[in-house]
Amino acid sequence: MSRSGRGKVFLVGAGPGDPGLLTLKAARAIAACDVLVYDYLAAAPIVALAPPDCEKIYVGKKAGTHTLSQDEIIALLLRLARNGRRVVRLKGGDVFVFARGGEEARALADAGVAFEIIPGISSAMAAPAYAGIPLTHRAHNTAFTVATGHEDPSKSGSSLDFAKLANPAQTLVFLMAMGNLTGIVEQLRAHGLADEIPVAIVREGTKPQQETLVATLGTIVGEVERNGFSAPAIVVIGEVVRERERMRWFDTHPLFGKKVLITRPRGDADALAARLWELGAEPLVAPTIAIEPPDDAERAEIAVREARSYHWIVFTSQNGVEAFFDRLSSGGFDARALGDVMVAAIGPKTAERLMAYGVRADFVPTRFVGEEVAAGLLERTEAAQRILLFRAQEARDVVPEALRARERRVDVVAAYKTVVVRDEAIAERAHEADVWTFTSPSTVRGLLENLPNAASLARGKIVACIGPITAEAARGEGLPVHVVADDYTVDGLLEALENMPGIVAS
């Protein structure tokens, strides 16, 4: 039975591939569904938005290979909805732009099944935009036409009016046209469209694998054969293609096309993965560690209850903040329980997480390492004052040792512990990646646990570390370190990668 108590089908457009182009309404529908029925073109991060207990059914269709026929897909949607399920039918691009969504909606309507349409961004618009090609430009055209290059094979002839399509004052966009490209080009030429008209084919548009082939109407077929261009791709024909060299932006990022391994815990990986997508890189999420409660959970509970007895509380990670306020909330309290206690955060992201709970950090060091935290606290405290260091169980002892040496009373309490994740997929993704990223020494150790020959394999990779402590741990394991961020944050790590000499777009 669905969460709402009655069956309903949501026909949802997933967009062209970049998960950042999914609409907010589509994301909400996916997050609340009981069953996800999804296509080949639906990006994995979008599919991952479905609830953990959601039933996922793949019905993808490539040219010549259909998991289920269209009739079988419709029958599946009807059966699931009649069983009271809340179903998201996730389709690549837009629901109604050559996606057969109209047939599915009609069948649902005829059967009396409740449904809703959530449009998506069509590749007809998105792929040219990501290739730097405007569909309209006042200097070049007054209209654009989107047509299918793969008509219903049961029809006796084409319904496309090539006499009208062969108009140099418009832009033509053909979807699913690679199989019929030769015939389309011949028809346009036969109806008077000049051989010199520029043509672009954008393959895997909006994805890190995006490729753009530019030629002319007279040469495009030969160029496709010579370069081995294949579906999925869209064809853009018109003078607007000339703007690409001035406007191309997506495939000029230094990290474009690079496969980047993310080793940090799954809950922390999303922000880095999202930024990599924006930069045209393909994130390979392979958490080598996970966050678990500390061995002495009771001591953490006591420290949180007695928080007001400290002069300062120091948080060295966002996970520590989450663990603290989770325990505070479970006891029926909130940030008011801190009273006038001063709070330190190791970096801006930790401070930002504190602000989400209504707590402004009184001290954030300019460099996000333990040594800077200790120095700053010594300037702000006096001998015998009590300091709670709420941190990872396996963290370094630099901060407490420096504080105790100057007669501060320090309680070191484990907020959580990190454990190694063992997963065959970690080694597979490490082999596939061009870049390995590490955000803590524990992520380095986690990779080595899963990939004993990491030091040997790393010779063909770029190894990037969030800061010097992590870099030291990597080198200690025999890994060559090519990039160390100056700003010890995810954004700092990405900036250092982009500025690395020799990083060029694929």
Catalogue the active-site residues.
39, 61
Distance CA 363, CA 353 (A): 14
The DSSP output letter for 209 is T
Helix (H) or strand (E) holding 270: helix 266-278
For residue 317, which of 490, 107, 93 has the smallest C-alpha distance?
Answer: 490
Question: Residue 494 has which token pair?
Answer: 């990405």
Contact between 316 and 370 (Cβ < 8 Å): yes
Q: Are strands 312-315 and 386-392 parallel, antiparallel or unpaired?
A: parallel
Contact between 38 and 145 (Cβ < 8 Å): no
For residue 428, which of 458, 460, 450, 456 has the smallest C-alpha distance?
Answer: 450
Q: What angle (nearest 5°) sits at the alpha carbon of residue 412, between those of residues 408 and 416?
A: 155
For residue 489, which of 275, 313, 298, 308 has the smallest C-alpha distance?
Answer: 275
Sign of the CA dihedral running 134, 135, 136, 141: positive
Estimate the share of the chain in helix, then strand, then coil, as percent rounded to the nearest 5: 40, 20, 40
Contact between 241 and 170 (Cβ < 8 Å): no
The DSSP output letter for 6 is S
Amino acid letter, residue 151: E
